[in-house]
Structure 1
């Protein structure tokens, strides 16, 4: 993404690379203690003697790029091209064929039901609802609660363009899923 239409200045490519590589290591979904987020990304960058100003720029991207941040408005403010490239690349990984595979893998890991007609998706969820581990949820709901919304949240022109085909693929998949689950397909 860093080499698409919205060019990242050469001197900032390292910021993009570091944020892209490290953005998930402190992700709340993978933490055992949700109340005390770790700062392994900062510790790693410091151990590699990355200058403090560069660490701050990397962490600004990482701290604001999650879906939950956009639910509370943090991610939708004005953004740098570096932030847009990293966030769009991450979101593109979450949609389309690879995104579908990842969704089912994660849902299985969390022992989530595949589908339950008695557990409807939440259309406009809050950050608290999204992060609630006790909220009844299904893997299919995740498409409606998050994945199908990502196309409209892309920041760069390249991200918007690439998201179109992946979004359409997910819609086709879900149409077929609902046909089969209802006995029509």
Structure 2
């Protein structure tokens, strides 16, 4: 299954943003290799790509095999696996707050920043179209308390506009780095302006 909002260019943008955040946040040079590799590999065997019946627990093994084949040192492989394991949005739904390493913080923030702003809007509608989600239905309200189970259940289809309210607008408050929070604030403001315009046009006011 190809998800065009999670293609190579998504990976390239996350890599670039993660390295930029790492430099802005003052991470040491020896952390950059783990950050870059984790950004490149963070979507390997992601659950969103899975076909029905496919094993979703193969990502760590696939990443480990890739790194070992490339000759990565065991400690580097362990660091990359630890970063990738913590990136996902679903794993923070209903979970207790946990310690986050600086390396994980920049990769996670970079991945979430790519879901915001103009690129985030484009990705959201691409994803919704791929899964034939309704564009908008004013009678279907966003879920205010989204659980991990509901978020990952393909049967719980929501409208594309509701996805903004259920997930995307929440990401700003989930950023881990100071630089990520500043970027997220700008990108989220742009999305809010878009949603206000969308609502006005939907109701025929503009």
In the other structure, the counterpart of 1:72 is 94
RMSD of aligned residue pairs (Cα, Å): 1.4
Deviations 1:27-71 (A, max 9, x none): 100111466222222221121121222112111111111110111
* Long gaps (5+) in structure 2: 1-20
1:24 maps to what in 2? 43
Distance 1:13 1:36 in 2: 31
Which of the numbers 22, 38, 61 marks the counterpart of 2:83? 61
Runs ≥4 in structure 1, deviation > 4 angstroms? none
1:30-179 matches, within 5 Å, as 30-33=49-52, 36-37=55-56, 38-39=58-59, 40-73=62-95, 76-179=97-200
Cα contact 1:119–1:136 (8 A) shared by 2: no
Alignment counterpart, residue 2 of structure 1, candidates 12, 15, 22: 22
Task: Calculate the TM-score normalised by the size of structure 1.
Answer: 0.94
| CA 24–34 in structure 1, closer or farther in 2 if over 3 Å, else same | farther
User: Any unmatched runs of 5+ in structure 1?
Assistant: none
How far apart in 2 are the matches of 1:127 and 1:61?
20
Normalising by structure 2, report the TM-score.
0.85
